[in-house]
Amino acid sequence: MSPSTPIPAKTAAINFLRRIHFYIGLFIAPFIFVAALTGTLYVLTPQLENAIYADALYVNQQGTARSLSEQIEAAQGHVGSQANIYAVRPAPEASSTTRVQFADAGYGASESRAIFVDPYTLQIKGDMMVYGTSGVLPIRLWLDKAHRTLLLGDLGRNYSELAASWLWAAALGGLLLWFSTRATRKTAKKESAFLKNRHWHTTMGLVLFVGLIFVSVTGLTWSRWAGDNIDQLRTNMGWLTPQVNTTLAQDAHAMHADQHAEHHAAMAGMERPTQDWPRVVAAAREAGIRAGMIEIRAPKEAGKAWTVTEVDRRWPTQVDAVAVNPQDFSIVDRTEFNTFPLVAKLTRWGVDAHMGILFGLPNQLLLIAFGTGLCAMIALGYRMWWLRRPVVSGPHPARTLVAAWMSLPASLKVISIVIAALLGYALPLMGISLLAFIGIDIVRWKLGKSQSTVMLRSGT
């Protein structure tokens, strides 16, 4: 076929798809590999965490537990009376400690200082930083940060978002390539190392396909840039997770007319009487909060209510919450998981399954197998590239993304541009990296075209 002969539309589309898939593998796969590796290590941490911090987490049952007020007073005495309580998590089981979490100006967002109290002896069993609703401890937090940010803070979040933005595209592109080249593969012999690697790379991709899509989508929900777009979409569609309303309407009107409102608001942030905490728990239990794992938070300012939230994200999910009036301990508002919008439920389940929490050990084992398989599949992909690496210097025009795109029919060119623009808007890091791909490729394409011209003129 001469250079001027048009390439059939199907062949051109396959070539273009193959180049996209290759570029994702070459440039984005390292980020995906690191995310898969650190994510797999993170999934292993619950049992490791329980073993390392066993002294802080567990106690021997010794008769009747002391009151929650006494436990909180013990923790307050350990850290000092000036420390403000961030949250309290009563012992969920007879063999567990109670966590009293204090705000600390030196900690980051969602981080707090947790004091672990023996409910029976009031002995302080542990003093360490915890993070988030999951209440993860230092070793697990370190791995979590490594997975999300490479320990680089907000800048590092771009790496995991880049990986999640392209992972679904790599999976879908690989599936389309497999489907469109089945006839060719059936007649190909498997003796060569390249074909054997391709066979296993493709087979693993098909086995992991659903997991690749799932991990990509759930990972994007808490990403920085794409996550904001997803949150905006959920807001517009009414899919946000319901939150309890902690505003006390009557108190708000009273504060508006109260010349000492500023003073009251300041006092509201101070430590609450310890006897209030068990009364709030009792009110929440009476209102239907049944989970063993709960978190209580005091009002942050005047005119606000207490909150008691279930924090057990294992199946069946228990994340109901109530707001409790600090004056008479009546229920101000409540949210129940069974009334959440379907998308809010799917988001909750998806995130918890992504973290290996939802189904416990089976969830962990599945994610470990998935993460290990993904790392192996990426290694096989690089092995394929190494076996087929160019043996001559300089790029070949036919092997560039630009050349593959230019061979597409006009209609497919327009469609590809529209899709790229939409994806670039929804997934900003995908759009930016795609522009980088194109920029690199244009240089390669021009160099290859120039080299081909020189070779033709020289008669080689």
Average pLDDT along the chain: 89
List pLDDT tens digits, range 338-355.
999 999 999 999 999 999
pLDDT band at 253 (very low <50, low <70, confident <90, very high): very low
List pLDDT tens digits, range 352-376.
999 999 999 999 999 999 999 999 9
The DSSP output letter for 218 is H
**CATH fold of 249-339:** Nuclear Transport Factor 2; Chain: A, (3.10.450)
Whole-number pLDDT of residue 156? 95
Q: Which of 148-162, 279-293, 430-444 is predicted least confidently?
A: 430-444
Q: Taking the domains of the chain in order of start, what are their residue ranges?
A: 9-43+151-227+360-454, 54-136, 249-339
Whole-number pLDDT of residue 441? 84
Are the C-beta atoms of residues 326 and 318 closer than 8 Å to each other? no
Q: Which of 5-9, 431-435, 446-450 is predicted least confidently?
A: 446-450
The DSSP output letter for 241 is P
Strand-pairing partners, residue 310, are 294
Task: Report the Cα 454 to chain-centroid distance in Å.
Answer: 51
* Token pair listed for 79: 């850290």
* Token pair listed for 408: 């597409």
CA–CA distance, 196 with 422 (Å, rounded to integer): 37
List pLDDT tens digits, range 171-197.
999 999 999 887 666 666 667 888 899
